[in-house]
């Protein structure tokens, strides 16, 4: 192989990772598409909009609870079989949702579908990283998480449109079919992988007592949580403050999704070169952008520009945050990775709660931009503390050895 051919080979990530990307697309779609279907679901099942909103919270709860429990319970499972079993659980949850005769059954179905979320992304990230050299691991993880970005730009608008045309149950049937296709791709493309050596649940729990891990998880909760202070209420902000029509909001969200899709691989490439400096720089940019939105939300052109740049910065954090957590606890990478997915969801829930509380107590939309910037700034402080801890001789030697 010539030098140029070798360079070209290294430029492409293994095709197996695309099977994980497809699964991430399905999971991301079912997580977020519910927000666009709440009015139809509430009317069909005869519940209030706030009650229907618990379908979003129920999914997040399923992720937070399922991630550590399933990960610890499957420590010795062969990785390919585990990924397929998790996709089976995901498909089952969505099929139950599609045929749910009542609100209670639908809520339980959402929890069932969510149980696989954290463990799938945790194990999937470790599998993706194992397929490439260490210097390309962040890019491999970023490619898998591109499925989430594509879910926002394609899956959510498409699933919402299907629900409006054919009923909300049709959306869950479509998501089930996408999940089944992703499972077939995993079965065909990914080779069997033995579980990494584990000394059992007690050892894994001791491993995650690592202070570096909890600094990394805190960085995820706060760094990304600031996004959801604003994102949860982006539709009313764009309609009421920016003056966009519902169709304009849909276009604006497509622009945001385009930014997400670009930001994910960009964050992966920067993280491969210099993990912590890249993470800190991206979080600083994200916090600054959210602060600027307090002004940009009153101008349509500025709002569109903000949404694209915000999308880039928001998803540029994904790969470095996930890579940081995996590297912080090499003794228990799958558990650490799945805990980070739970951390993302905890940040999402906390960000939504903060934004909702500010609106409830009469603050205007611009204060959400300030609050989002402040929450992300807390993540910056934790990232700086993590970088300082990494520079300690003992920690540096341990990281290089792993």
User: Is residue 399 over pLDDT 50?
Assistant: no
Distance CA(305)–CA(258), nearest Å, equals 12
> Mean pLDDT over residues 53-73, rounded?
81
Q: What is the pTM of this model?
A: 0.74
pLDDT tens column, 269-307: 888 888 899 999 999 999 999 999 999 999 999 999 999
User: Is residue 159 over pLDDT 50?
Assistant: yes
Categorize the per-residue pLDDT at 49 as very low, low, confident or very high, splitting at 50, 70 and 90: low
pLDDT at 131: 85
Which domains are seen in the chain, by residue range?
A: 9-196 (1.20.1250.20), 199-402 (1.20.1250.20)
Which tops the pLDDT comparison, 79 or 11? 79
For the chain, percent of residues with pLDDT exceeding 70: 91
Here the contacts of 59-62 (C-beta below 8 Å, separation 24 or greater) are: 59/31, 59/34, 59/110, 59/111, 59/113, 59/114, 59/117, 60/114, 60/345, 60/346, 60/348, 60/349, 61/111, 61/114, 62/110, 62/111, 62/112, 62/113, 62/114, 62/115, 62/117
User: Is residue 4 over pLDDT 60?
Assistant: no
In the 8-state DSSP scheme, what is residue 136?
A: G
**Most confident segment among 2-6, 217-221, 238-242, 392-396:** 217-221
pLDDT at 53: 65
Phi-psi region of 46 (alpha: psi -120 to 50; beta: other; left: phi over 0): left
For the chain, percent of residues with pLDDT exceeding 90: 36
pLDDT at 50: 60
Instruction: Report which of 126, 144, 154 is spatially closest to residue 182, judged by C-alpha positions.
Output: 144
Dihedral sign for Cα 335, 340, 343, 344, please.
negative
pLDDT at 402: 40
pLDDT at 198: 65
pLDDT at 43: 83
**Most confident segment among 186-190, 248-252, 339-343:** 186-190
Which segment of 54-58, 80-84, 263-267, 325-329 scores lowest on mean pLDDT?
A: 54-58
pLDDT at 145: 80
Phi-psi region of 362 (alpha: psi -120 to 50; beta: other; left: phi over 0): left
> Mean pLDDT over residues 166-170, rounded?
92
Phi-psi region of 200 (alpha: psi -120 to 50; beta: other; left: phi over 0): left
> Mean pLDDT over residues 255-282, rounded?
87
Cα distances from 54 to residues 42, 61, 226, 401, in angstroms, run: 11, 10, 21, 45
pLDDT at 401: 39
Which tops the pLDDT comparison, 250 or 129? 129
User: Is residue 400 over pLDDT 60?
Assistant: no
Instruction: Report which of 94, 79, 97 is spatially closest to residue 19, judged by C-alpha positions.
Output: 79
Q: What's the mean pLDDT when you consider all of the chain?
A: 84
Distance CA(289)–CA(314), nearest Å, equals 10
User: Is residue 48 over pLDDT 80?
Assistant: no
């Amino acid at each position: 192989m010539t030098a140029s051919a070798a360079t070209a080979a290294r430029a492409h990530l293994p095709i197996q990772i695309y099977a994980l990307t497809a699964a991430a697309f399905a999971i991301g779609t079912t997580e977020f598409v519910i927000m666009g279907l709440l009015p139809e679901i509430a009317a069909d099942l005869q519940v209030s909009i706030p009650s229907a909103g618990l379908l979003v919270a129920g999914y997040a709860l399923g992720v937070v609870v399922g991630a550590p429990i399933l990960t610890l319970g499957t420590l010795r499972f062969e990785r390919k079989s585990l990924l397929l079993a998790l996709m089976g659980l995901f498909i089952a949850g969505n099929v139950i949702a599609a045929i749910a005769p009542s609100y209670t059954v639908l809520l339980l179905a959402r929890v069932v579908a969510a149980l696989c979320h954290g463990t799938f992304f945790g194990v999937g990230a470790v599998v993706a990283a194992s397929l490439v050299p260490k210097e390309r691991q962040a890019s491999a993880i970023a490619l898998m998480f591109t499925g989430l970005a594509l879910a926002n730009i394609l899956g959510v608008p498409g699933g919402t449109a299907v629900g409006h045309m054919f009923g909300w149950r049709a959306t869950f049937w479509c998501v089930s079919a996408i999940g089944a296709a992703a499972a077939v791709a995993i079965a065909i493309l990914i080779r069997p992988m033995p579980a990494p050596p584990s000394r059992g649940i007690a050892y894994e729990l001791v491993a995650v007592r690592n202070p570096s891990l909890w600094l990394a998880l805190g960085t995820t909760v706060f760094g990304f949580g600031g996004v959801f202070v604003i994102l949860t209420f982006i539709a009313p902000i764009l309609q009421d403050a920016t003056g966009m029509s519902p169709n304009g909001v849909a276009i604006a969200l497509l622009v945001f999704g385009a930014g997400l899709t670009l930001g994910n691989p960009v964050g992966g490439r920067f993280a491969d070169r210099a993990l912590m400096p890249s993470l800190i720089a991206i979080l600083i940019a994200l916090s600054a952008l959210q602060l600027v939105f307090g002004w940009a939300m009153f101008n349509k052109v500025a709002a569109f520009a903000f949404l694209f740049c915000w999308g880039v910065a928001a998803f540029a954090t994904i790969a470095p945050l996930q890579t940081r957590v995996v590297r912080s606890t090499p003794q228990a990478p799958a558990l650490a990775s799945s805990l980070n997915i739970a951390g993302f969801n905890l940040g999402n829930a906390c960000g939504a709660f903060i934004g909702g509380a500010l609106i409830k107590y009469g603050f205007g939309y611009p204060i959400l931009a300030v609050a989002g910037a402040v929450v992300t700034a807390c993540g910056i402080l934790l990232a700086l503390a993590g970088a300082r801890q990494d520079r300690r001789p003992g920690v540096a030697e341990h990281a290089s050895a792993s």
